[in-house]
């Protein structure tokens, strides 16, 4: 039986990717009791990385789309951590979003809203979360956005 989160993903036109493999010496997630810590997920599509710098080569809307892609990767990691059972996701606790941006760019929260909005849409009331949205002078491989998350599991 398909869980409500996966049903809403499909209804909203989102595709949950396979959980991305780590790009360096770390694990994609760590479970401590009912808390799941997911490592930073970078902005990427099936055909490659979403790169760019907000305030220079990317618009806020393009940045928000990059953040949505990060949120989908976060959910993919949650699903992998729960042995394929996304129904075990009780709530999104906290996101920390990093935006590759110019020194004068001030709309990091609007960019990370792409991820927050998606999680609210598909997780429902359990998608409301604490959050930080900060600027970075650069991010790995030139990606536009990286987001890490903390989740509560059933």
Which pTM value belongs to this model?
A: 0.96
Q: Where are the beta strands (DSSP E) in 10-117?
A: 29-32, 35-42, 44-45, 48-49, 89-100
Residues 48-90: pLDDT tens digits? Answer: 999 999 999 999 999 999 999 999 999 999 999 999 999 999 9
Give the model confidence (pLDDT) of 103-135 as tens digits. Answer: 999 999 999 999 999 999 999 999 999 999 999
**Per-residue pLDDT tens for 19-31?**
999 989 999 999 9
- CA neighbor of 144 nearest in space, from 77, 78, 48, 79: 48
- Strands 145-153 and 130-136, by their bridges, are unpaired
Each domain of the chain, given as residue ranges in start order, spans 4-153
Judge: domain 4-153, CATH 3.30.1330.40: yes
Is residue 1 pLDDT above 50, yes or no?
A: no
Burial 102-119 (b: 16+ CB within 10 A, else e): eeebebbebbbbbbbebb
């Amino acid at each position: 039986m398909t869980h409500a989160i996966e049903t809403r993903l499909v209804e909203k036109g989102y595709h949950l990717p396979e959980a991305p493999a780590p790009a360096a010496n770390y694990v994609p997630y760590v479970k401590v009791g009912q808390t799941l810590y997911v490592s930073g997920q970078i902005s990427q599509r099936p055909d490659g990385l979403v790169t760019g710098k907000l305030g220079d080569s990317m618009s806020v809307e393009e940045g928000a789309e990059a953040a949505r892609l990060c949120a989908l990767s976060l959910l993919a990691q949650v699903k992998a951590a729960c042995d394929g059972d996304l129904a075990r996701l009780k709530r999104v606790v906290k996101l920390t979003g990093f935006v590759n941006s110019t020194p004068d760019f001030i709309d990091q929260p609007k960019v990370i809203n792409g991820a927050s909005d998606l999680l609210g849409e598909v997780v429902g009331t359990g998608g409301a979360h604490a959050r930080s949205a900060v600027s970075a002078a650069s991010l790995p491989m030139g990606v536009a956005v990286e987001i890490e998350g903390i989740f509560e599991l059933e």
